[in-house]
A and B are shown apart, each in its own frame.
Chain A
């Protein structure tokens, strides 16, 4: 049985986050709520964010999705809660570049910047699953840009 490749993708850290996601739920007083879906598979993420003083004060997510999308959302919310918008935007960019076919010659080290989420670099070997990993990050990108447009 060829389960070696499986261990590459489903590290224990990813399974832990997927089975016990952090920041899972709703934020009744959210400044921005973004619902994004992955039209190829029907997965949905609802991301709620409260902004204060150019920072992400509170963040939570809900919705339906696979282990990769749930773990990614859990890791991302861990990472960005309390951060400045500038910092969060930088991390979104590094995360998305990490999973691009031809990553731009960036000086940034995902391992240093992204915390647990850096393990999701393994998803690049599973092209059909990249959209699962990026869904939450794209929702946050949209939440921030709508918040900034709002100001």
Chain B
């Protein structure tokens, strides 16, 4: 399997790019992953052979496009083990998925004095929408805090939950700390007080298998572009009964059953959420990405990412002045490593690394409350995908050492 993974790197043409005279070591996979040729080909093939608007035409080409689009809905359902394709809504991405739940579903169950629980490690996309709902409804926004090891404090979470808790919205994997949260357990705890559970799966779905029935969550949001698919396409999973109760966020073509002068009858979910012409090519590209991942198989993907993360953790920690944030135990974290080099701002570090061909992220990672909590203004972040290799890792470590030498730290 290790051999298969090493070969799989060749499926990603962009990884052959030369950046600032150096081979590209792409280590910003938590921001977006690169695309395998199979996904690029699927997009090209669609536009060359199958392009037509879906659900509308009676002609053969439109039927072909519709069939492919709906087949991916079924494929996504199988991928996350949803009970049926009717529970899969296509959206623009995780942000849109979370916003729709917050803006249309949440107000139907929230009253002033109710409580929404999120965690301090949330990305702004699973934080700001809840602040907005909280301001609109008078529901109180409460936070699950961190333990010293960068994990969610389950005891304090247990104390937060009460009969007023109507919504619990948590990230599956932290985009800063890499922490993999115990979602199954936390969902069960939330359900004992009758809360609806929303999960941000943006950093999870491309890295390990996700089973929404096993997790037992009520909504699950993720993006195509963070799991080797195209940008502009995401998914909102929702239990059938919840999607039936959730009002559409947008209105227009294709989401209606019957329109009269004064009122409109909507189609059932998921169609009622997919107003207008959807990103059809991107849906088909997402299908190709899922097929690609399934072809590689989770054991090989997980083994490669864990090995790289554990080794990077060890080699970066060995550099005096480097602090890594988040869990120390490799099996409790994903392939995201946030770190700082003492005496050098992460922006300066990222510029130095860029000149060595190493692409990492530097900044607050859209998690400003978490940064405040960690007592830093920003961090550097390297995040691995299965196509990264030893050469990428060594390029990172050598470049951090070079930064240290250059700035005489």
Do A and B come from the same complex?
yes
Measured in the bound complex, the distance between the Cα atoms of B211 and A136 in whole Å is 49
Question: If the complex has contacts A15-B407, A64-B377, are A6 and B347 also in contact, measured as CB distance less than 8 A?
Answer: no
> Are the CB atoms of A41 and B21 closer together than 8 Å?
no
Measured in the bound complex, the distance between the Cα atoms of B406 and A6 in whole Å is 9
For residue A107, CB closer than 8 A to chain B, the reply is no
A127: shortest Cβ distance to chain B, in Å? 11
> Are the CB atoms of A6 and B355 closer together than 8 Å?
yes
Residues on the A chain within 8 Å of B407, using CB: 10, 15
> Are the CB atoms of A3 and B363 closer together than 8 Å?
no
Partner of A3, one of B345, B355, B362, B377: B355
For residue B378, CB closer than 8 A to chain A, the reply is yes
B306-362 interface (Cβ within 8 A of A): 344-348, 351-352, 355-356, 362
For residue B402, CB closer than 8 A to chain A, the reply is yes
Measured in the bound complex, the distance between the Cα atoms of B368 and A110 in whole Å is 36
Number of B interface residues in the complex (CB < 8 A): 23
Question: If the complex has contacts A1-B402, A3-B355, are A41 and B378 also in contact, measured as CB distance less than 8 A?
Answer: yes
Number of A interface residues in the complex (CB < 8 A): 22
Residues on the A chain within 8 Å of B355, using CB: 2-3, 5-6
Question: If the complex has contacts A1-B356, A5-B20, are A129 and B351 also in contact, measured as CB distance less than 8 A?
Answer: yes
Nearest CB in chain B to that of A8: its residue:
B355
> Are the CB atoms of B406 and A42 closer together than 8 Å?
no
For residue B147, CB closer than 8 A to chain A, the reply is no
> Are the CB atoms of B362 and A41 closer together than 8 Å?
yes
Residues on the B chain within 8 Å of A42, using CB: 363-364, 368, 371, 377-378
For residue B213, CB closer than 8 A to chain A, the reply is no
Residues on the A chain within 8 Å of B346, using CB: 66
> Are the CB atoms of A65 and B402 closer together than 8 Å?
no
Residues on the B chain within 8 Å of A57, using CB: none
For residue B22, CB closer than 8 A to chain A, the reply is yes
Residues on the A chain within 8 Å of B378, using CB: 41-43, 64
Partner of B347, one of A2, A3, A5, A41: A41
For residue A120, CB closer than 8 A to chain B, the reply is no
Nearest CB in chain B to that of A9: its residue:
B351
Residues on the A chain within 8 Å of B377, using CB: 42-44, 64-65
Nearest CB in chain A to that of B345: its residue:
A66
For residue A32, CB closer than 8 A to chain B, the reply is no
> Are the CB atoms of B345 and A126 closer together than 8 Å?
no
Nearest CB in chain A to that of B346: its residue:
A66
B358: shortest Cβ distance to chain A, in Å? 11
Q: Map CB proximity to A onto B181-223 as digits: 1 under 8 Å, 0 otherwise.
A: 0000000000000000000000000000000000000000000
Measured in the bound complex, the distance between the Cα atoms of B356 and A1 in whole Å is 7
Measured in the bound complex, the distance between the Cα atoms of B21 and A40 in whole Å is 27
Residues on the B chain within 8 Å of A3, using CB: 355, 402, 406
Question: If the complex has contacts A10-B406, A41-B362, A42-B363, are A66 and B347 also in contact, measured as CB distance less than 8 A?
Answer: yes
A144: shortest Cβ distance to chain B, in Å? 26
Measured in the bound complex, the distance between the Cα atoms of B371 and A44 in whole Å is 13
> Are the CB atoms of A2 and B21 closer together than 8 Å?
yes
Residues on the A chain within 8 Å of B363, using CB: 40-42
For residue A98, CB closer than 8 A to chain B, the reply is no
For residue A62, CB closer than 8 A to chain B, the reply is no
Question: If the complex has contacts A3-B355, A40-B363, are A65 and B345 also in contact, measured as CB distance less than 8 A?
Answer: yes
Residues on the A chain within 8 Å of B348, using CB: 10, 66-68
Of A2, A15, A42, A64, chain B has the most CB atoms within 10 Å of the CB of A42
For residue A132, CB closer than 8 A to chain B, the reply is yes
A35-79 interface (Cβ within 8 A of B): 40-44, 64-68
Q: Map CB proximity to B onto A119-151 as digits: 1 under 8 Å, 0 otherwise.
A: 000000010110010000000000000000000
Residues on the B chain within 8 Å of A68, using CB: 347-348
Measured in the bound complex, the distance between the Cα atoms of B345 and A65 in whole Å is 7
Nearest CB in chain B to that of A65: its residue:
B345
Residues on the A chain within 8 Å of B406, using CB: 3, 6, 10
A37: shortest Cβ distance to chain B, in Å? 10
Residues on the A chain within 8 Å of B371, using CB: 42
Residues on the B chain within 8 Å of A128, using CB: 351
B343: shortest Cβ distance to chain A, in Å? 9
B372: shortest Cβ distance to chain A, in Å? 10
> Are the CB atoms of A6 and B352 closer together than 8 Å?
yes
Measured in the bound complex, the distance between the Cα atoms of B363 and A136 in whole Å is 18
A1-38 interface (Cβ within 8 A of B): 1-3, 5-6, 9-10, 15
Would you list the 4 A-B pairs with minimal beta carbon distance, nearest first?
A66-B345, A42-B364, A66-B347, A64-B377
Q: A1-B356, A40-B363 are in contact. List 18 more A-B contacts (CB 8 A).
A: A2-B20, A2-B355, A3-B355, A3-B402, A5-B20, A6-B351, A6-B355, A10-B407, A15-B407, A41-B362, A41-B364, A42-B363, A42-B368, A65-B377, A66-B346, A66-B348, A67-B344, A67-B345
22 A-B residue pairs with Cβ-Cβ distance under 8 Å, sorted by A, are A1-B398, A2-B20, A2-B21, A2-B22, A2-B355, A3-B406, A5-B20, A6-B406, A15-B407, A40-B363, A41-B364, A41-B378, A42-B368, A42-B371, A43-B347, A44-B377, A65-B377, A66-B346, A67-B345, A68-B347, A68-B348, A128-B351
